[in-house]
């Protein structure tokens, strides 16, 4: 049960109506059952539900639900599009080649596992690594909202067009929106290229996707330092 201080922290007290009563055991079975804010008190509790979840058809083909990795109180949350084969097999996000590149990108601006929490718009692998459908993203979105509430990040990095569309609803192409600061529910978000896209575009020439990603991750690091109230040498 959440304390009054926790409720105030997440501004639930501004709603004069109490949260609807929901049986948590019904949540994994149907997308028609709402997931009220504050129903989970840990990622482990959410993971238990996600591994039973059949709110969309992806639950029928998964090996493991992929909930997240990193610091659950991180200042920076990274939201990807969906798990791939390696992630489905391990239950961890961004552990394949794209994840290895993401780790290198973060390391290049001195961001470690303590600074980040990584998750996806959908927690189960779309067959053939296809793009998640809007229905699938909508069914899984309440889990992501609970993750954002629990982590309470200063900045959200939206990796790939599906993560932008799934969280903030912006349907512009990633090449048009990347590097642009967005405000969503009082939080700063930045869309960036997905690491898998960078793997398909290896050039480092000025103006290339990798070059643009370098500009974007430096901007994110600078903003994070600013929000932390400290200045780190660049």
CA distances from residue 113 to 36, 106, 118, 159, 160 in whole angstroms, order as listed: 29, 9, 9, 17, 21
170 Cβ contact partners less than 8 Å away, ≥ 6 residues apart: 164, 177, 182, 191
Angle formed by the axes of helices 209-228 and 97-108, to 10°? 50
Q: Which of 46, 38, 86, 97 is nearest to 67 (CA)?
A: 46
156 Cβ contact partners less than 8 Å away, ≥ 6 residues apart: 76, 77, 78, 79, 148, 167, 184, 187, 188, 189, 190
Instruction: Say whether pTM exceeds 0.85.
Output: yes
Structural contact between residues 141 and 79, judged by C-beta atoms closer than 8 angstroms: no
Full pLDDT tens readout for the chain, 234 residues? 444 444 444 443 334 344 456 788 889 988 889 899 999 999 999 999 999 999 999 999 999 999 999 999 999 999 999 999 999 999 999 999 999 999 999 999 999 999 999 999 999 999 999 999 999 999 999 999 999 999 999 999 999 999 999 999 999 999 999 999 999 999 999 999 999 999 999 999 999 999 999 999 999 999 999 999 854 545
Q: Return the DSSP state at 92.
A: -
The CATH class for the domain spanning 4-228 reads alpha beta
Q: Which of 202, 194, 189 is nearest to 173 (CA)?
A: 194
Domain locations along the chain:
4-228
Tokens coding 130:
């296809």
């Amino acid at each position: 049960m959440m304390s009054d201080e926790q409720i105030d922290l997440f501004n639930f007290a501004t709603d004069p109506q109490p949260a609807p009563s929901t049986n948590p055991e019904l949540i994994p079975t149907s997308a028609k059952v709402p997931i009220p804010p504050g129903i989970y008190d840990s990622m482990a509790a959410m993971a238990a539900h996600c591994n039973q979840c059949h709110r969309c058809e992806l639950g029928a083909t998964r090996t493991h639900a992929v909930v997240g990795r990193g610091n659950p109180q991180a200042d920076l949350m990274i939201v990807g599009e969906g798990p791939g084969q390696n992630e489905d097999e391990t239950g961890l996000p961004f552990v394949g080649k794209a994840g290895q590149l993401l780790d290198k990108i973060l390391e290049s601006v001195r961001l470690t596992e303590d600074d980040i929490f990584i998750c996806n718009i959908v927690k189960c692998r779309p067959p053939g690594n296809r793009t998640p459908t809007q229905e699938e993203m909508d069914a899984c979105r309440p889990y992501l909202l609970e993750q954002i509430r629990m982590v309470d990040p200063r900045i959200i990095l939206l990796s790939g067009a599906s993560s932008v569309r799934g969280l903030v609803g912006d349907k512009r192409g990633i090449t048009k929106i990347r590097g642009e600061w967005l405000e969503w529910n009082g939080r700063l978000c930045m869309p960036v290229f997905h690491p898998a896209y960078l793997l398909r575009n290896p050039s480092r020439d000025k103006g290339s996707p990798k070059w643009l990603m370098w500009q974007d991750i430096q901007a994110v690091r600078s903003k994070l330092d600013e929000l932390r109230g400290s200045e780190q040498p660049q």
